[in-house]
Amino acid sequence: MCEGWIADRMHLIDASGIRKVFDLATNMTDPINLSIGQPHFDTPQPIKDALNQAVADGKNAYSQTQGIAPLIDVIQSDVDKSYGHVDRKVFISSGTSGALMLSLLTLLNPGDEAIVFDPYFVMYKHLTAVTGGKVVLVDTYPDFRIDVNKVREKITDRTKVILFNSPANPTGAVASRNEVRALAELALEQDIALISDEIYRSFCYDDEFQSPAQWNDQTIVIDGFSKSHSMTGHRLGFVHGPTDIMQQMIKLQQFTFVCAPHPVQWAGLSAWSYDISDRVDEYRMKRDFVQTELSADFEIAGGEGAFYLFVKSPWGTGTEFVKAAIENNLLLIPGNVFSEQDTHFRISYAAEEETLRKGINVLKKLARSGPNDNWWTVKTESWG
């Protein structure tokens, strides 16, 4: 009886891919976990202290919907210095996921199209579906570069949004200055909203981070503290863009999330001035270590930022290879969770060195031994 109560939009969301990985892992003892999409270090102590102090000081009621003034002020000052835009306003969101939901609900009507680069962060596809919008994919295989001509070819009279993520999840790819500028200028030329998801901007290892807002003053930038300061459970993000759009998003936040968690915003004020360069250096070394160890047996593109590598399976599909890895006590995520293709798998190197070494040993063994006949002939169900 209850099935009939469920709205049609819920059937457009399939969260089964990562769930099936962890379902298979339930009986694993002390798995080698290279699947987690969050930092392996704890929230720095000064940030925890600021959160505790905010709670002790009674900052436990709602804040203003747009966020506390001290946090907005420091971020706004930095944004103004970086871009110098006359009309670029900041507000505080309930995580970057909340910001994505607000931005897509604000911009998309049912039937509108959102251009998304494949591979993509899983949330883009599903949140677009919730709005009634349609995802139009631009293939970036095999090197995960942005070809602006491919984007232009996908634009129709229903195109309303381009969703851009650099450094990217799951590929770790960092778009070059020329790629970002071309995309920014195309969106401006075609009067298409460009949403730049910059949650991994702190983790660029080879070149300086480039935001499309440098060349397109209408860009909507989404950022936050989850990855840079290991605050994934704190749900603290921020958004900046044209005032008219920000006001609509704030209005929607008022009637959905209400505000970002109030005491966490004070922790964010501490986080803003906290130096994470040592963590960035650590992840650069981890990236270099994993790439060097796997390069002889695996094809790896991207990986210039974030803390992921999107690795091509040396045999079989990505799903089949991940199934074999799980049978060898190694947790990975199959690539078809993030893509229409099933050729790759995602590694997160946000892990301790011992865990990385164990995982690398399993990966080398699997690559060199090939498929196990005991399961290779069994049809593997799609995890997409």
- Position 382 scores a pLDDT of 41
Q: How confident is the model at residue 1 (pLDDT cuts 50, 70, 90)?
A: low
Mean pLDDT, to the nearest integer, of 256-267? 97
Q: Which pLDDT value is given to residue 383?
A: 42
Question: Token pair for residue 360?
Answer: 């690398």
pLDDT band at 4 (very low <50, low <70, confident <90, very high): confident
pLDDT at 366 (0 to 100): 97
Tell me the per-residue pLDDT of 60-78, one tens digit each, with 9 for 90 and over: 999 999 999 999 999 999 9
What predicted TM-score, i.e. pTM, was given to this entire model?
Answer: 0.93
So what's the pLDDT on residue 13?
Answer: 81
Q: Quick check: do 2-43+277-376 and 45-272 share a fold?
A: no
CA distance 238 to 94: 8
Nearest to 62 by CA among 238, 263, 248: 263
Question: Which pLDDT score is estimated for 165?
Answer: 98
Q: Is pLDDT at 288 greater than 80 in this prediction?
A: yes
Tell me the CATH architecture of domain 45-272: 3-Layer(aba) Sandwich (3.40)
Q: Under a CB-based contact definition with an 8 Å cutoff, are residues 96 and 224 in contact?
A: yes
Least confident interval from 6-10, 96-100, 264-268, 343-347: 6-10
In percent, the amount of the chain with pLDDT more than 70 equals 93
**Residue 117 clears pLDDT 80, i.e. is over it:** yes
Q: Are 226 and 202 in contact (CB under 8 A)?
A: no
pLDDT at 10: 85
Q: pLDDT category, 28, cuts 50, 70, 90?
A: confident
By DSSP bridging, strand 237-241 and strand 220-224 are antiparallel
- Domain 2-43+277-376: CATH class, spelled out: alpha beta
Over range 83-104, report the average pLDDT: 97
DSSP letter string over 204-255?
Answer: BSSS----GGGT-TT-EEEEESTTTTT-GGG--EEEEE-HHHHHHHHHHHHT
pLDDT exceeds 90 at position 228: yes
Which pLDDT does position 24 carry in this prediction? Answer: 66
Cα–Cα dist 151/136, whole Å: 10
Average pLDDT, the chain: 93
Q: Per-residue confidence at 144, pLDDT binned at 50, 70, 90? A: very high
CA-based nearest residue to 234, from 118, 97, 116? 97
pLDDT of res. 19: 66
Average pLDDT of the segment spanning 257-283 = 97
**Per-domain residue ranges of the chain:** 2-43+277-376, 45-272
Structure confidence at residue 14 as a pLDDT band (50, 70, 90)? confident
Burial (CB count <10 Å: 0-12, 13-18, 19+), residue 110: exposed
Sheet with 89-93, edge to edge strand ranges: 89-93, 237-241, 220-224, 193-197, 159-165, 113-118, 134-139
Provide the pLDDT for residue 15: 64
Helix (H, G, I), strand (E, B) or coil at 343: coil
Triad 338, 116, 205: Cα angle to 5°: 70
